[in-house]
Structure 1
Amino acid sequence: MTLEVLATGPLATVQDLGRPGLAGIGVGTSGAADASSLRLANRLVGNDENTAAIEVTFGGLVVRPTRDVTVALTGAPCPLSVDGRGAAANAVLRVPAGAELRLGVPAIGLRSYLAVRGGIDVAPVLGSRSTDVLSGLGPDQLRPGAALPIGAPPSRFPVVDIAPVAGPAEEVVLRVQPGPRADWFTDEALESLVSAPYEVTPESNRVGMRLDGPVLERSRTEELPSEGMVTGALQVPPLGTPTLFLADHPVTGGYPVIGVVLAADVAKAAQARPGQHVHFRCI
């Protein structure tokens, strides 16, 4: 059984929950940028939460199964149709063999997750089926003409028809705690970080989100030796505006980290699209 890829939109990749615990050998975690949406999609179709699914950036995915499949779409709510008939997100859907499942462009949010009962059964690399766009580990980015194998369905069955969840927020508020190099910045820099919004720039992807807004002045100007980085780190290069590290971030970096966004809020950051504003709240 396979899922034929007819169109991908701007970017579509296979993702699970990544490769945690390998930073010591230079391998980042990767995995779904919005892990909570991936988990929900898998639960809806009865998969284990770590089962591989398709992460779709800004809609545009079109797929066709060779046999009847059960799917669920979560994350950024895209217009969704099966052979031209509208369907609902955050719900359990049956897609007949040969039918086209088509995703439109989400009105809000950025990344959607399509889980198939049984999962996308591509070969794992270092224990994960995730595509890491920075290192190149894992399967290739999806292209039209690809045929994705679908795994055997789990023994348990979906227990709900639809999940009553809120979609991505128009106003993104991210809780941040002072980072390991907050003392490299002036007191005014920390105040600037939380007192004014930052705009998400088009120079953003699964590696990180570049932000435009108040410049964060440093109190120390010497070079910083490369040190470990985590998802959610707010790294500040010499220009003074921060970059928020997301799923495929490098494991080390040489610019100071003024703060770290809470892990629980990284999924909200992953749904922020270029032109949208984010606000930081210090805890």
Structure 2
Amino acid sequence: MSDPLEDFLAMLASERGAAANTLAAYRRDLEGARSVLGDLPRADRAALASLGPAWAALAPASLSRKCSALRQFYGFLVDEGLREDDPSGALPRPRARRPLPRILSRDEVERFLGRAEEEAAGDRPEAVRLLALLELLYGSGLRASELVALPVAAVPRDAPFLHVSGKGGQQRLVPVSTRARAVLSRWLAVRADKSRFLFPSRGAAGHLTRVRLFQLLRELAARADLDPTRVSPHVLRHAFATHLLEGGADLRVLQTLLGHADIATTQIYTHVDSARLVALVNARHPLRDKAVS
């Protein structure tokens, strides 16, 4: 007999177009639950309720993710006729408040890019590549996984757009700024490798890995006198979104640019902008130092 867990993951891949990273996360969460409950497909409500104490030490966001995986798994079993009841109502329901994303200020981004531009002035391939990576992270808001896996064919000759394959294989067009296009032209001119990937590597993946991208950014941050712990590919994506919103971008446009399936995911940036405004009032208002009687 087939394993219902494997059947569920196959359904996510085929019907919902789940990415490899998403499938790996579901597998970890479900196998973790199976290690506690034993026979996962036949677990009853009392067994699922026992997960609350077993997972008490988890962060709210982690607990919420694991419970979501289980709810979808049991919904799948019911839909497939493998169970008559859905016991997932007994799962704990943490109310995790989504934290505001970390970002860099405009001045910090300018310092970061300025350092990369200085290092790329001599057309050294490694330095030009890093500048191109930065321009696409901050200038187009790409995810790290989207960026490192870009094929050369994604860069059109006569249109200011990239063809990007996002989460779940969803395709979208992403605008590329004039300066980013200029840096990409420089990179293509000095790029020696004939790989189909825009940012090739000799590793098994065939392209630059997300881990190496993360390392390159932190090393550059240190050289630019920025705190390396505050810098990552996702921080630059957040900075792209936040700075566009501050400049008057529409939330729906931002959703399209970021490749978010749900507008609720994009709405986090309205909270970032609100937090910035509150901080500005607290720091600059003439009554900030007046004591309240």
Is the TM value for this pair above 0.5? no
Structure with larger Rg: 2
Larger strand fraction of residues: 1
TM-score range, shorter-chain basis? under 0.3
Larger helix fraction of residues: 2
Give the TM-score of the pair, scaled to structure 2.
0.27
Give the TM-score of the pair, scaled to structure 1.
0.27
